[in-house]
Each structure stands twice: as C-alpha cells, then as structure tokens.
Amino acid sequence: MMYYSNDLDRSRILSSIGFHTFTIFLRLTETEARQLYRDFWNCSAVKVVPLGKDKLDPNVLPKGYIVKYRKKGVGVSWYIRFSSDVAEHMRMSTNASSSNYMKEPTPYSVRATINPKILGGVIDYLTAANADSLDQAEENYNVKAADISPILGKFEQYFLNRIDYCFNFDPLELNMGCFADQLLTLIKQGYIPKYFTLATKFCEKSKRWKPYKDDFRLKSKSMTISCYWKYAQLNEDFPDCTDLERSRNVIRFEIKCEYSKVYAMSKNIKDILRGELSLQEMADNFTHGIDVNPIKNLLSDTFALDMVYKYFYKVIRRGDYFTYDGARLIVRSHNFRRDKEDRLLKALEWVKDNRGIANTISKLTGRELRNFKRSLRELDEIFVNPVTIPRRWNTKHIPNPLRAYEDCIFEEQILPIPEILFRERLEKYLSS
C-alpha cells in the first residue's frame, strides 16, 4: 500500500471520468409517429426544426425533424429522420384511396439526445456524468416526456443508440507541470490503432485537407476517438457558456461510440444477462415479449472506466513523458539485455526523429515494424512514453494524465510491483 496526500478538495475538481452525452431511441409505429409529430407541434415549450429544405407545416410530415426546447440548458433534444420510403409511405397514407396506400403500419423510431448532468439540474459542462447523474436525469426525462406526449413513454423503454464516454482533465489541477496546449502537442504524436484514421477538415486558406488544430481526432466506421482542448470547442460552439473561463486548461479525451459499436457491446452484455436468467424468467420474458435492456450496464461507472482506460492506453500509451535523454536514462536503468536495450533506444530515436508514433509506423515495414510495435509494448511495461518532451520546454517529466488523475483522487492506492519500482526510479531521476 502506498499513501498519497494532498490538500485538493476532491468534491470540486474538474478532472473526471464517465460520459457526457448519450442518445436513446424508441421504436414507433406509423400512427405513433404521426401523433408524436402533432404533439410536438402543440407543445409551446419546444420548437420543431425540419431537416433539409422542407417547410414547416403541422399537417405535412417533413422528411425529418429536430425538436429543441426554446429555453437553453434543458439537456435533452429529440430527432426523427424518415427514410425516403417511410416518408413517402406516411405522406401517401393520408389518402386512403391511393393505390400506394400501405395498410400495415411501418415501424419507426424517435431518438432523444441527453446531457445527463444538465437534464438532472446540474449546470456543468466540464465534469463528466456518472451513474449517480443518470438517476435524476431519468426521472426528469420521464416528467418532460409526459408533458409533451404519451408516445415518448418512459426512459426504461428506450435502447441506446450512441454513447460518448470521456475523461476530462486539467493538467494544472493534476499538478502535471504543463499547460493544456503543451500536453496536446505530445498527445498528437500518439498511436493510431488499427481500423482508425486521422480525421481531417478542409482548410479554405490553403485549399488542403488538414488535421484539426486543437483536436487529435481518429475515426473508424463505428467510433470516433478525440482528444481536444475544451476551451476551443466551447468558444466555437457555445461562446456564452458559463463554464467557458473554467475550461481554459481542460482537455477532454472522448470515445464516441456509434450505433454499430453500441449494438455489438449491447449484444455481449445481453448474452451475459440472459445467461443469468432462470428458465421460468426466460419463459415469462418470451411470453410477454420482454428483452433484457443493457442501458444501465453500458452507462455504469465500471463500464465507462474500462472504455476510457482501454482506448486511452491504446492511443496515448501507459507511460510518462520524459525528455529524450531522460527516457534513455530510464531505459538504461533497467539493465536489460544489450539487444533489448538497443531496440528500445532505437524506438525512442525513431519517434523523436519522425515526430510521433504514427509517423514512425507509416515509414516502417517487415521486421523493423514488428520490432517497433514490440518495443512500444515493452516501453509501456516500464511506464516510459516513446513520445518525448522538447528540450526547449525546460521540463524533465510530465506524468501520464490517467496516473496523475489516480494520484489526485485516491488518497490510498494498492500498486503493482512494476509501478512501485518505476516510482522509485522516477524519484531518483527527478532528484538527480
């Protein structure tokens, strides 16, 4: 057991792990979709915004629409988009004599995008939500939905469509010895996992596609991983946000799981939950058409932690940041076999010369690439990040943000032997 103590008020820190937004959906029939559209129109507290070039008409269904509260800071909005076939069917079905009239109702769905902290009554755009936030948000959603339309039902009837897990951290608050812009410079030199690509946007000035300025953003077919400066994002999207000034040194590491990823995770959890049911419970569920709903599991604190740690360590790695000379010194202090030491030192040199892990990987093939990836794993094991601190910063060491967060929020930690030995090496290095 190792003991850490500081004077920080843990109840007021910005740094946190959880989720910040999620989207749920509820299946509807044609009749329900029609009634819900009318109910939204008749509710004075919200406004209906059609998608595309459709004009607002309470008697004509648009191809899709968004519903927002007129008052800011409520924490929930709704979204319905009809496919071309469904939209055409719903228009044609207004005329029962039409030859294209379909007698059977076509199911559809409504999505609700929720910021659980805001919906729960806590006006805070910086700290992550957790399972405790969800309880009040669920209760408030049911009240607001009932005020608009019975078609919106209860929170427990919905299934997850998208989840945005996140780790928000303030390098100054966590005593990391650097500012947000410096840390982002290092993070942007991180690893790009398999199936992910670096996201870019078109620059009007240079007429070229470029990576995002204040955002290390990676995309796959089912996920988006972003690490961005929260102040820049709020200043652009929400300039009158009450938390704007407090966000100046906050970085958000975000894992946005789209429906295909959520579906795969839900299926795995459903299989586990079904396996825990008795034969009688399974029979009752089948008789009443009830299926297990993993929404609370996917929004649990444990699941959020697992997701953040898994992808943070993939992209940003497990180790601390050192100067190039400092990282070499830590490697040499382990007294590895000569071939292993040379391989690890070569990996550090490649990353420095190529300005990043992903850039290095893009230039290697065959045995060199295999050896480099092996070296990345072994550097993780000794808590050394292959990305190194520029000499001009005059900083010897920047801790891994997750480890700095753990040291900040936990007064006591049980650490594995390798980490204890690393901390001893680190103490000697910093005192030299």
Go through 361-371 and write b for each residue having 16 or more CB atoms within 10 A of its CB, e for each that does not.
beeeeeeeeee
Residue 98 pLDDT: 39
- Residue 125 within any structural domain of the chain: no
Q: Are residues 222 and 305 in the same domain?
A: yes
Residue 352 CB burial class (10 angstroms; 0-12, 13-18, ≥19): middle
Half-sphere exposure for 315 (CA within 13 Å, toward CB): 28
For 343-363, how does the pLDDT look when each residue is reduced to its tens digit (9 = 90+)? 999 999 999 999 999 999 999
Q: Are residues 264 and 346 in the same domain?
A: no
Q: Are residues 299 and 228 in the same domain?
A: yes
Beta strand spans in 75-222 (E): 76-81, 108-114, 159-169, 197-198, 200-203, 208-211, 215-219
**How far is it, in rounded angstroms, from Cα 152 to Cα 216?**
37
Last residue of a domain, one of 285, 311, 337: 311
- Residue 56 within any structural domain of the chain: no
DSSP state at residue 13 = -
Q: Indicate the pTM of the whole model.
A: 0.87
pLDDT by position in tens, the chain (length 432): 343 344 445 456 789 999 999 999 999 888 888 899 899 999 999 999 887 666 666 666 667 889 999 998 899 999 987 654 444 444 444 444 333 333 333 458 899 999 999 999 999 999 999 999 999 999 999 999 999 999 999 999 999 999 999 999 999 999 999 999 999 999 999 999 999 999 999 888 888 898 998 999 999 999 999 999 999 999 998 898 889 999 999 999 999 999 999 999 998 888 777 666 555 554 455 444 445 788 989 999 999 999 999 999 999 999 999 999 999 999 999 999 999 999 999 999 999 999 999 999 999 999 999 999 999 999 999 999 999 999 999 999 999 999 999 998 876 678 889 999 999 999 999 998
- Residue 171 within any structural domain of the chain: yes
Q: Are residues 259 and 238 in the same domain?
A: yes
Length of the chain: 432
Last residue of a domain, one of 311, 339, 374: 311
Question: What domain range is 215 assigned to?
Answer: 10-19+163-311
Amino acid symbol at 262: V
Amino acid symbol at 99: S
Q: Are residues 272 and 188 in the same domain?
A: yes
CA torsion angle for 407, 410, 415, 419 (degrees, to 10)? -10
- CA angle 131-136-140, nearest 5°? 135
Q: Are residues 326 and 421 in the same domain?
A: yes
- Residue 282 within any structural domain of the chain: yes
Q: Are residues 325 and 288 in the same domain?
A: no
Q: Are residues 181 and 268 in the same domain?
A: yes
**How far is it, in rounded angstroms, from Cα 251 to Cα 393?**
20
Last residue of a domain, one of 311, 341, 362: 311
Tokens of 246: 């407090």
> Which of 337, 403, 354, 40 is closest to 191 using CA atoms?
354
Q: Are residues 257 and 333 in the same domain?
A: no
Name the domain count of the chain.
Answer: 2
Q: Are residues 197 and 300 in the same domain?
A: yes
- Residue 29 within any structural domain of the chain: no
257, β-bridge pairs: 163, 223
- Residue 347 within any structural domain of the chain: yes
Q: Are residues 336 and 267 in the same domain?
A: no
Q: Are residues 285 and 375 in the same domain?
A: no
- Residue 120 within any structural domain of the chain: no
- Residue 289 within any structural domain of the chain: yes
Residue 140 pLDDT: 97
Tokens of 155: 């929170």
